[in-house]
């Protein structure tokens, strides 16, 4: 890494005021591992997006007092962030496989930076629970109580599948496909929805989401270009990769993911109504007032965005046959 590259200004796609939203950014920005190595990451993420954050959110983004009082709104956010914190920790640990298997220095560097990004996300979601009033010495135990059952029902089967795929020979590219299409491509819309839902109700939580979502634009863009480049050079790998996508989708279909999200949305709905004065007139998407949405509608919205995101990424990668 040269001193000159570190002296360059941060990239626009990593700036709080210049980065697009996650859904738009991840489907419109093209980035490659060659562009997003360590020098880029130090300049644009560590010394860019993350500079000056307090508790991993913008310093002027506050936690309203009502978020520290027991009630459905606080419970909805606690459930969401505890689950996200554990998911991000699992992603961090899984990324060590991609760092180990990366076929060249550029992708090794990129996945080493993504590993740290995901570790920071886990820290951010966990840390916000402390801001909501969970005593630091009870944090691990509190998260465990909230997530234990959901980890066993949702996260562990996904992790087991990823471990099985990565144990096969020549599995780097399949690992990237799972992460990009089937983990981040599926979860990004929920993260975008979360950023929008909490924007007024808890500006600190929305700011944590925004910071993580800026990182996710990079992960989705680079992951997609890794797969695209691989398939251009190795078109014979299409069938192997499409098979992994199909198997993982069948597993996902049988997991109670929507049930877990729906429970949180029901709590959010109760809490939002209790604080309707805060969100009066606020639109979650163009022409859709947040107050007018139901838990079912928000769930459908995230699922719809998720399908659009995956279709767009699969087309870009050169795998249109894997679109459902």
27 versus 269: smaller Cβ distance to Fe ion: 27
**In the complex, least distance from residue 51 CB atom to Fe ion, rounded to whole angstroms:** 19
Q: Which is nearer to Fe ion, 113 or 202 (CB)?
A: 113
- The encoded tokens of residue 256 equal 């109670």
Q: How far is the CB of 66 from Fe ion (least distance, A)?
A: 27
What is the C-alpha to C-alpha distance for residues 245 and 287, in angstroms, rounded to an integer? 35
Which is nearer to Fe ion, 120 or 271 (by Cβ)?
120
Nearer to Fe ion, 205 or 290 (CB): 205
Question: Least distance to Fe ion from the beta carbon of 219, Å?
Answer: 4
CA–CA separation, 115 vs 92, rounded Å? Answer: 5
SS3 content of the chain, % helix, strand, coil (to 5): 75, 0, 20
Residues 46-50: contacts with CB within 8 Å, 24+ apart? 47/10, 48/10, 48/11, 48/14, 48/15, 49/10, 49/14, 49/15, 49/16, 49/19, 49/211, 49/214, 49/215, 50/120, 50/211
Shortest distance (Å) from residue 216 CB to Fe ion = 5
Residue 111 or 272 with smaller CB distance to Fe ion: 111
Q: Which residue ranges make up the site for Fe ion (CB under 5 A)?
A: 88, 118, 121, 216, 219
Q: Tokens 């096969």 belong to which residue?
A: 168
Smallest separation, CB 118 to Fe ion (Å): 5
């Amino acid at each position: 890494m040269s001193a000159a590259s570190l002296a360059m200004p941060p990239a626009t796609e990593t700036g709080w005021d210049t980065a697009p939203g996650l859904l738009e950014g991840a489907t419109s920005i093209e980035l490659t591992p060659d562009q997003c190595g360590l020098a880029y990451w130090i300049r644009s993420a560590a010394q860019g997006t993350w500079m000056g954050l307090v508790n991993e959110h913008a310093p002027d983004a506050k936690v309203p007092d009502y978020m520290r009082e027991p009630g459905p709104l606080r419970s909805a956010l606690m459930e969401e962030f505890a689950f996200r914190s554990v998911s991000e920790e699992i992603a961090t640990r899984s990324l060590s496989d991609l760092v180990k298997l990366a076929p060249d220095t550029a992708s090794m560097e990129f996945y080493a930076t993504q590993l740290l990004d995901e570790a920071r996300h886990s820290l951010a979601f966990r840390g916000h629970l402390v801001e909501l009033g969970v005593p630091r010495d009870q944090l691990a135990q509190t998260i465990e109580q909230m997530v234990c059952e959901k980890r066993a029902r949702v996260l562990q089967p996904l992790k087991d599948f990823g471990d099985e795929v990565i144990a096969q020979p020549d599995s780097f590219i399949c690992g990237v496909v799972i992460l990009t299409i089937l983990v981040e491509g599926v979860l990004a819309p929920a993260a975008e929805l979360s950023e929008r839902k909490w924007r007024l109700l808890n500006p600190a939580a929305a700011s944590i989401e925004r910071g993580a979502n800026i990182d996710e634009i990079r992960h989705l863009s680079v992951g997609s270009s890794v797969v695209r480049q691989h398939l251009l050079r190795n078109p014979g790998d299409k069938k192997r990769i499409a098979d992994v996508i199909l198997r993982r989708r069948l597993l996902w279909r049988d997991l109670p993911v929507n049930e877990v999200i729906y429970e949180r949305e029901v709590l959010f709905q109760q809490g939002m109504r209790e604080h309707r004065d805060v969100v009066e007139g606020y639109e979650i998407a163009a022409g859709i007032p947040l107050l007018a949405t139901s838990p079912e509608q928000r769930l459908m919205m995230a699922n719809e965005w998720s399908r659009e995101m995956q279709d767009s990424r699969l087309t870009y990668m050169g795998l249109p046959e894997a679109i459902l």
